[in-house]
């Protein structure tokens, strides 16, 4: 891999118009605004990108647009997860052909699989993918945790598996990944999926965070990362307080993608905030809660 992913990587939502069709103009405006910030890369077609409700060919077309819009200015990760191993391989091969830098793959989320079957799933992907592969652990949504032992085995056996986004609400899980997986393999990257664990992850030797809040408040997450690098922990503490307030937004709606899009719009970017069915737009009461959170977190005045 010709680069090292690190720091703050926003999981960018996919922008759709009122007819639920991909909106390249809105998507382009969002990417351009993020390019002007200090974010260290992009993740497209992850959970916030609504990959699971998009048809196969649409995922390819959106991935290609995003890679072309970024145009090599920062690293791009494409989410290529599917319950089908072969579909993951096809999407990952496509991501390589359009010039992405890496792919991220959450585990299959319908059939509960043994660790051995999960191992074989990821090993087949790693051996077939032209791009480096990051694991994505999100057990509250997939119904299955990627165990430390499984991740360690994959890191040991598959050089093309280069890291993990760990969205587990337990800092000890990330700690074990850093010490037990990254320890024996120092180039293995560990990213927190929960915004609030960002500084803790960095402090114990992790590589960064993939936080949805960075789509509308990158000055906070990027500010924490910069403060960490500069050992300015007074600034980091002040920004962490704001980040903790903003992180409350994840609990006010499920899925939270609509709230992320509304927060982007409220923060000053003119985009449509349509979400794909079966999700629906946040209702008035939820939007009011969102405004209150954004105001308390200093995003809105």
User: Could you tell me the CA-to-CA distances from 81 to 6, 52, 159, 193 in Å, in that order?
Assistant: 21, 8, 19, 16
- Mean pLDDT over the full length of the chain: 97
What is the pLDDT averaged over residues 67-92?
Answer: 98
Cis peptide before 139 (omega within 30 of 0): no
Structure tokens at 269: 């970017």
Q: Does the annotation mark 225 as catalytic?
A: no
102-106, strands of its sheet edge to edge: 7-8, 208-209, 189-192, 161-166, 133-137, 102-106, 76-79, 42-44, 11-12
Mean pLDDT, range 111-118, rounded to an integer: 95
In sequence order, which residues have a C-beta less than 8 Å from that of residue 149 and are 6 or more positions away?
115
Tell me the β-bridge partners of 191.
165, 208
Bridge partner residues of 12 (DSSP): 44
| Residue-range domain boundaries for the chain | 7-217
State the catalytic residue, choosing from 60, 122, 136, 192: 136
Contact present, 41 and 73 (Cβ < 8 Å): no
The arithmetic mean of pLDDT across residues 48-73, rounded, is 97
Q: What is the distance of C-alpha 223 from the center of its chain?
A: 18
Catalytic member of 92, 129, 165, 182:
165
So what's the pLDDT on residue 3? 59
For residue range 128-140, list pLDDT tens digits in order: 999 999 999 999 9
| Residue 192 main-chain phi, psi, to 5 deg | -80, 140
d(CA 94, CA 67): 12
Indicate whether 301 pLDDT > 90. no
Q: What is the pTM of this model?
A: 0.97
Contact 16, 22 (CB under 8 A): yes
Q: Model confidence at 4, in pLDDT bands (50, 70, 90)?
A: confident
How many Å is the maximal CA-CA distance in the chain? 52
| Residue 268 clears pLDDT 60, i.e. is over it | yes
The span from the CA of 155 to the CA of 173, in Å, is 16
CA distance 233 to 21: 44
Confidence of residue 97 (pLDDT cuts 50, 70, 90): very high
According to the model, what pLDDT value does residue 75 have? Answer: 97
Q: Which residues 6+ apart lie within 8 Å of 29 measured at CB? A: 269, 270, 271
112 is catalytic: no
Q: Which of 47, 92, 214, 247 is catalytic?
A: 47
- Of the residues 2, 110, 114, 301, which is catalytic? 110
**pLDDT computed for residue 256 by the predictor:** 95
Measured distance CA(222)–CA(65) in Å, rounded: 25
Give yes or no: 47 in active site: yes
CB 40 within 8 A of CB 9: yes
pLDDT surpasses 80 at 263 = yes
Q: Which CATH class for the 7-217 domain? A: alpha beta
User: How many CA atoms lie within 13 Å of 172's alpha carbon, on the beta-carbon side?
Assistant: 0
Single out the residue of 167, 195, 215, 208 nearest to residue 14, CA to CA. 215
Res 2 pLDDT > 80: no
């Amino acid at each position: 891999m010709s680069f090292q992913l690190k720091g703050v990587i926003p999981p960018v939502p996919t922008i759709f118009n009122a007819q639920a069709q991909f909106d390249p103009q809105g998507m382009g405006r969002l990417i351009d605004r993020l390019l002007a910030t200090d974010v260290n890369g992009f993740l497209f077609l992850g959970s916030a990108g609504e990959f699971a409700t998009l048809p196969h060919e649409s995922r390819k077309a959106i991935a290609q647009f995003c890679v072309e819009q970024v145009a090599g200015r920062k690293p791009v990760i494409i989410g290529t997860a599917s319950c089908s191993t072969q579909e993951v391989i096809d999407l990952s091969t496509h991501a390589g052909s359009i010039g992405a830098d890496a792919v991220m793959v959450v585990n299959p989320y319908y059939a509960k699989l043994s660790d051995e079957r999960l191992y074989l799933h990821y090993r087949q992907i790693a051996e077939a993918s032209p791009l480096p592969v990051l694991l994505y652990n999100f057990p509250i949504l997939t119904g299955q945790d990627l165990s430390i032992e499984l991740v360690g085995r994959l890191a040991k056996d598959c050089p093309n598996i280069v890291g993990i986004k760990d969205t587990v609400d337990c800092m000890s899980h990330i700690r074990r990944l850093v010490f037990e997986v990254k320890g024996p393999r120092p180039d293995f990257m560990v990213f927190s999926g929960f915004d609030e664990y960002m500084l803790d992850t960095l402090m114990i030797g992790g590589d960064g965070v993939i936080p949805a809040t960075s789509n509308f408040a990158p000055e906070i997450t990027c500010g924490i990362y910069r403060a960490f690098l500069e050992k300015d922990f007074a600034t980091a503490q002040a920004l962490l307080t704001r980040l903790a307030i903003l992180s409350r937004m994840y609990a006010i709606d499920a899925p939270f993608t609509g709230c992320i899009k509304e927060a982007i719009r409220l923060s000053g970017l003119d985009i449509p905030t349509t979400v794909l069915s079966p999700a629906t737009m946040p209702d008035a009461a939820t939007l009011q809660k969102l405004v209150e959170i954004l105001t308390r977190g200093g995003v809105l005045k």
